[in-house]
Amino acid sequence: MPPGRTIRTIAPLALLNMAIDVTDATFETEVIQRSFQSAVVVDLWASWCGPCKTLGPILEKVCEATDGQVVLAKVDVDANPALSQAFQVQSIPAVYAIKDGKVVDGFMGAYPEHVVQQFVDSLMPSEADQTIAGLIAAGDELSLRRALEIEPGNEQAVCALAELLVHTGRELMDEALQLLTRIPENDQTRRIAAVARLARTTMDAPAAGDVGLVEHRTNAAVEQEQAPEVHGPTDTFEAELDALLEFVKADEDARQKYLDILAVMGPEDPRTARYRKLLTHRLY
């Protein structure tokens, strides 16, 4: 896999064979991020709730039987008021299914095991889903292209292939940019597109040198993000942004390059917010 930021890898719960207790603080990692790998069933409950005590063991039994393909996350509504408010909980037990960061199904109240089984079965990956997951995990160009033949708009496959093309050679930048138009724009697609444009427009450099330069820039940003307390800036972003700032108002190309560098830096880089403010002041 080419260098760059990716969704954080989370250990499969199949190895633990248990539900997880989720809090306001861990919901983003344990539920939202995990839901891009497997469906997550969120069980909102409380210790004083009788029906919750009936439903809880059923959910645990049925979800554990999926060997990690459907994960159960339990939320104590009394201890986690922010999540209760986010789900607009009016009665419990309340159960929601989350896939790819979005609520896709749910129910309220306690139901018998056969009904819960049907609910969980509907969340299980299809044979095609499993094939695509295997191809994406392989990560090579041929496998990623095969995954997109099955599902042309698969976000993980699109981003993985686009990033692979960007780091393969300058002649593939246009294809990478075209691929990204298949899916909604987000921080990851903006970063990949920015790397492609920067590599394509690096002035008078050989093709391999263009990609290498951008890889150096990207790697430097990632290294700084991973160990900011140890390393100072190891890239040339600030010098480039300072030089471009004078021209961003009148020169569209300069403005685009400025924005592309910010995208490569990413929102986690503390310099990004500062340079965005400088851009706003210069434009307006």
By annotation, the residues acting in catalysis are: 49, 52
Q: Is residue 41 a contact partner of residue 94, using CB atoms and an 8 Å limit?
A: no
State residue 120 phi and psi, 5-degree precision.
-70, -40
User: What are the residues whose beta carbons fall under 8 Å from the beta carbon of 245, sequence distance 6 or more?
Assistant: 258, 278, 279, 282
CA distance 275 to 277: 5
DSSP 268: T
The CA dihedral of 185, 191, 193, 196, to the nearest 10 degrees, is -170
Name the burial class of residue 73, with classes exposed (0-12), middle (13-18) and buried (19+) by CB atoms within 10 angstroms of its CB: buried
